[in-house]
Structure 1
Amino acid sequence: MTEQEELLKMRALLAEKEQVIEEQKKRIEKQRIQIDNMIQALLHARKKIFGASFEKTQTDG
């Protein structure tokens, strides 16, 4: 394998790894949004069940 062929192969591998990284970043961002939405839903449900006074006592004490 010539030096140029080896360089081309390494560039292709690098491009492939960069694509994988970008896909993982998108996946992580989607999961972060899902987690944020679930936290908001949980807080809303807790407020609905226990009322605002429960959350106030939890943060105060």
Structure 2
Amino acid sequence: MPRQIRLPYVGIDKNGQTLSIKLGGGREKSGNGGATVVVLDNVAPNAKINYADGTAVNTVSPK
């Protein structure tokens, strides 16, 4: 299970040309081919993630 996920993205106009998309925020970087890239941490506030074996345990108590 990855600790981070890299997400590159672009838009496409009606002529099939790529468009840069900037949503804002401190995680955006410029990538190849006009892509915007963000790297997201693979964390969950309601789970304990074991990155070694790919399992997760719910930490939310049932009401």
Q: Which TM-score applies when normalising by structure 1?
A: 0.21
Structure holding more strand per residue = 2
Bigger CA radius of gyration:
1
Q: Which TM-score applies when normalising by structure 2?
A: 0.21
Q: Which has the higher contact order (CA 8 A, sep 6+)?
A: 2
Structure holding more helix per residue = 1
